[in-house]
Structures are given as C-alpha cells and as structure tokens.
Amino acid sequence: MARKITIEPVTRVEGHGKVTILLDDKNRVERTRLHIVEFRGFERFVQGRPYWEAPVLVQRLCGICPVSHHLAAAKAMDVIAGVGPEGLSPTAEKMRRLMHYGQMFQSHALHFFHLASPDLLFGADADPAIRNVIGVALYHRELATRGVLLRKFGQEIILATAGKKIHGTGAIPGGINKNLTAEERDSFLKGPAPLDIDTMITWALEAVEFFKDFHRKNKELIDSFAAFPSNHLSLVRKDGGLDFYHGALRAVDTDGRKVLDDVDYADYLKYIGEDIKTWSYMKFPFLRSLGKEDGWYRVGPLARLNCCEFIPTPLAQHEYEIFKAYTGGRPNGMSLHTHWARLIELLHAGEVIKELLNDPDLQKDDLTRKGKKAFEGVGLVEAPRGTLFHHYRIDADDRISMANLIVSTTNNNEPMNRAVNWVALNVIDGQAKITEGMLNRVEIAIRAYDPCLSCATHALGRMPLEIEMIDAEGAIIDKRSR
C-alpha cells in the first residue's frame, strides 16, 4: 500500500506550492515532488501593450523582486530602442547598476537575517514559536537590528534610483529618467541613509564572519545537508569577474568545465530548453547540449560563485578566495553553502554601491540614448535569486506581440526538487510518523534556494506548512500543520 505525504506551503501572495512524498508499504520513500503553480498569465497579459510600458508593467509580476523585472525588461527594451545592451550613457548604466546592487543588498539582507538566521541560530528541532524573526529579535537583538537597517539602506538606494521603493519608473528604454543628486549621494556616504555605507560594509563583513564561525562549529550539518553535484549557470563579466547587471552566459559542470562558454545571451534559445512535466506548472529548464536528463543546473549566489573567476572588489574577493579554497577550487554543490555565498555577495554589493556613490558620472545629465529601432529584444540580469530572462517581440505599431520570461526560481526548479528529495531520503525515509523536525528540514532545504514563488509564491517569514500522510485509498492517516 503506497502512502502519500503532502506538505503545503500556504502563501499570502500569488502562486502556490506543495511537496508530496510517496511512501511504499514499508515506509520507504518512493518518490518526492515539489509542485508549483506558476503565475502563468503574465506573458499573455503584456501582449498588445506599447513596448515602453514593459519596464513598469512587469513589476506587477512580483512584489518581492520588482527591481529585477524592471531592469531585465528595460535591458530588452534598450535593444528594441536600438542602443542596447551596451550603448547606454555612463550615467544611465551606473544609475541602473546602483539600483540593481541596492536591490541585491536589501534582498540578501532580508533573506539572511529574517529567513535563514532563525534556522541557524535555533536549529531545525526548535519550537517554531522561537525559530523565526521574532525569536531573533528577542534573543539576538543586535543581529536583528542590523538586519533591519541593512535592508532599509538597500531600500533607500532603490528609492533614490527608481523613484519609488516598489513599482519605480527609473529605467526607460535607452536610459534612465533621473540622476543622483549630490544631497542623495551624501546621505548614503555619510548618513543618515540609515547610517552610512561604511557601516553597512562593516556589518556585511561581520555577517560573513558570523556564518564562517557557525560553519566551523557545525561542519557536519552545513556540508552534508542537501548536498549534491550539479551544473551551474550565471552571467559573468567579459574578464570572468562576478557581475550582477550584465555579462555573457556561462555554465560549468560539476568538475568546473565550461559547458556554456561565455555565449551571447540574446541567443539563449539555442542553449537553453524548458521541459514540461505533467505534475507541475513550473517548467524545468535545461542546457540543450547536455539534454533534459543531465542538463539541469543551479542559479543564484552559489552558482554565481561557481561560474565566476574572481570578484572585482577587494573585501569580497578575499572572502571568495576562502570560499573557493574550501572545495579546493572545485564547484561547490552544498546547498547550505548558498547562505555563505549570499553573504559574500551582500558584502560585494556594499562595496560596489560605495564605488558608484563616489563616481561623479552619477551627477551628470546625459540620461538617454536613441538608435535604430529593432523588433525583438532579450534582457538578462543576475537577480538576487539567480539568472532572470526577459524576451520580447513587438509589431509595426510598437505593441508587444510576444513575451517569454524564465524567472530565477524556475531555473532552480530541479535543484529544489533534488533538495527535497535529499531530505526525504535522509530524514523521512523509514519513519512512520510526521514530526515537526521533518517539516522544518523540508523548509530549510527549499529556503536555501530563496524561492520566489510569487515570481514562479513567496512566503515571507515562517513558511506555513501542511503535511499529510495519505494511504492508497486516499484516507488521511497522519496530519500536521502549523
């Protein structure tokens, strides 16, 4: 008799996900699946709208990552406006970079301090009443305060560059609609932004130290939990450096060999396919050269540090060298090391923000460029959660006739399924009853990938879970929820 366990994350926003674990009559795990109902209407919703509206419209896709969608769409529209992807004025490109690195800063701070740190500080078996951001605020007040202020700093950067914290209109086809005033600059350099960029960088560095210290004390957990080899995909700069805003598309395999050798992302359809499975609305992207079975890959902080060759800021580069040395330079497939990579990126984002703030180009008035119009454009960025693809075609009346998006969370579909499967095989297998600890471990495995299920459902804070054991006749024989 086969039994089925269902774990259902309930969300406050668009999208819905659940995990099912099918057991055989000996309680051995037979199969696990992460099902996600994607917000699918969007690619059709933008059809018929004037192309210049896209960078604003696409922010309705998701309340969590509006800046990422704004910039990916703007980059695609730069191509349609005949200037992109590398023809922007220095002021426009640097303002967009400042916006994007501000978004990365606030998103990574939010994820680590609000979502990930409770799992690390209190452990997977802790009372869920404590194992959340409230628990962090009660027992680790300084850490919680820093989390709030780091995030706020990033949000203020977004406000100053995009015009609004959410649904800003900063980037327009061919450029940007404002520069950074000297007053805005000084608020970030010297405070009160909240506080100043140097304090933010110091705190980011101390967050990396916090993780390394936790890792030293919990090696077994951090190194083994949901660890598995994979391919990795990200944009990299022409010289192989880490870059969140622009670059060529690179993929490496589990031995670090280049599977995609810095190709032009405008040709992504040649290199990336999307498989469809009957049991999930979320597609399964893969590298065509390796095929559907073997071509799946990770994206996000871990994948980015596996694909790049260096980080072009000094403090983050130093931490990158320590990170790389831990695996002897080989690609890192340990899911919980994603938190380490994410904090190195937080530090890097802080350093880049400081460099940009000190660049006088940001106060110049050369904001937009124009060129010969094209009818198709592709725009990619490295969003906080990983590579984000936007692709549009327009008709003779300047209206969008086709839109294709591959969001970061979709790129991580197979890795998240593998992570859940790891928990099923290593924690749940052989157990007859569902425990709180099992639920927590499923949550921790998925959370390492920081899924935005709103872009593909996003549960801020504690991920509400429901788990059911169902026998072959469909009767519920065990049930837990929180």
Q: Is 124 or 455 the residue whose CB approaches Ni ion more closely?
A: 455
What, of Mg ion, Ni ion, none, does residue 143 touch, CB below 5 to 8 Å by kind?
A: none
Please report, as a single letter, which amino acid is at residue 40.
R
- Which window, 3-11, 103-111, 236-244, 403-411, contacts Mg ion (CB under 5 A)? 403-411
Q: Is 65 or 352 the residue whose CB approaches Ni ion more closely?
A: 65
The answer to the question of residue 356 lying near Mg ion (CB under 5 A) is: no
| CA separation, residue 438 to residues 112, 236, 277, 428, 471 (Å) | 22, 37, 26, 7, 19
Of 65, 172, 154, the residue nearest 352 (C-alpha):
154
Q: Scanning the structure block, which residue is given the tokens 């309680």?
A: 27
Of 246, 251, 212, 318, the residue nearest 84 (C-alpha):
246
The answer to the question of residue 71 lying near Ni ion (CB under 5 A) is: no
Site for Mg ion (CB under 5 A): how many residues? Answer: 1
Q: Interface residues for Ni ion in 93-112 (CB under 5 A)?
A: none
Site for Ni ion (CB under 5 A): how many residues? Answer: 6
- Which window, 19-27, 157-165, 182-190, 397-405, contacts Mg ion (CB under 5 A)? 397-405
- Which window, 59-67, 78-86, 246-254, 362-370, contacts Ni ion (CB under 5 A)? 59-67
Q: Is 234 or 332 the residue whose CB approaches Ni ion more closely?
A: 234
* Least distance (Å) between residue 456 CB and Ni ion: 8
What, of Mg ion, Ni ion, none, does residue 56 touch, CB below 5 to 8 Å by kind?
A: none
Candidate list 46, 56, 57, 62; residue touching Ni ion; CB under 5 A: 62
What, of Mg ion, Ni ion, none, does residue 405 touch, CB below 5 to 8 Å by kind?
A: Mg ion
Candidate list 46, 58, 64, 160; residue touching Ni ion; CB under 5 A: 64
* Least distance (Å) between residue 407 CB and Mg ion: 7
The answer to the question of residue 405 lying near Mg ion (CB under 5 A) is: yes
Candidate list 65, 104, 120, 442; residue touching Ni ion; CB under 5 A: 65
What, of Mg ion, Ni ion, none, does residue 65 touch, CB below 5 to 8 Å by kind?
A: Ni ion
Q: Is 412 or 421 the residue whose CB approaches Mg ion more closely?
A: 412
Query: Are 426 and 14 contacting, i.e. CB atoms less than 8 angstroms apart?
Result: no
Q: Is 62 or 424 the residue whose CB approaches Ni ion more closely?
A: 62
Q: Is 343 or 453 the residue whose CB approaches Ni ion more closely?
A: 453
Q: Interface residues for Ni ion in 421-480 (CB under 5 A)?
A: 452, 454-455
Q: Is 34 or 334 the residue whose CB approaches Mg ion more closely?
A: 34
Q: At what angle do helices 141-162 and 337-357 cross, to 10 degrees?
A: 50
Residues lying near Ni ion in the complex (CB under 5 A): 62, 64-65, 452, 454-455
Enumerate binding residues for Mg ion (CB under 5 A).
Answer: 405
